[in-house]
Structure 1
Amino acid sequence: MIKIEFVVLNSKGEEKMRTTDELAAKAYDLMLDAAEKVMPIIESSGLELTEKQTEDLAIHLVKHGEAVTAALAPAVKGAAVVKRARKKNTENIEQE
């Protein structure tokens, strides 16, 4: 009998998942990659979290990415509107 297993490691080489399902392994690997990109944002918040808490929060945010994106969309859109308005005001002042 031959059994193929996929082992997902984080960037530190720590085993995070072991499975025979290749697609599940790839999906989990992508989730870990995204969480590692979110961690510095959480760390810059000034909250006093352990490394494990930071990692857990990052993974939670990535797992709920669609909801987080939907929640943040109005604020992101609002910030873009303000930025465009300020740029337009600056251009109008320079033309005067």
Structure 2
Amino acid sequence: MAVITQYVVVREGVEKMTFTSKKEADAYDKMLDIADNLIPFIQGGELELDDNTTEKLAFYLASHKDTLANLLKGAPVKAPTPAKSSKKKTEPEKV
């Protein structure tokens, strides 16, 4: 019989995510804390977003906190390189 240690992130009695390492569980929990703190900040703006969109935006910003912190410091963001398509165009481009 194997013994498996699991770390479960629970918010308001709801199981959010299960991890096999404490470090990952703590990082996820911290990201959820950041998202929870961002929601009132976003709602305080003049964006007029619905609650679902506000939560998604807060979650996105929290999950990309390092990139966001660099942007707020004035560092340029590295643009993702687009994936090259292996398909050839069959029609000429219209100009």
1:33 Cα deviation from its structure 2 partner? 0.8
Unpaired runs of 5+ residues, structure 1, are 75-96
* Identity score, percent: 37
SS at match of 2:9: strand
Determine which structure has the larger helix proportion and give its number.
Answer: 1
2:63 maps to 1:56: no
Structure 2 CA distance for partners of 1:54 and 1:9, relative to 1, 3 Å: farther
CA RMSD of aligned residues (A): 1.9
Structure 2 match to 1:73: 73
1:24 Cα deviation from its structure 2 partner? 0.9
Structure 2 match to 1:6: 7
Partner Cα separation in structure 2 for residue 16 and residue 50 of structure 1:
22
The TM-score normalised by the length of structure 1 is 0.62
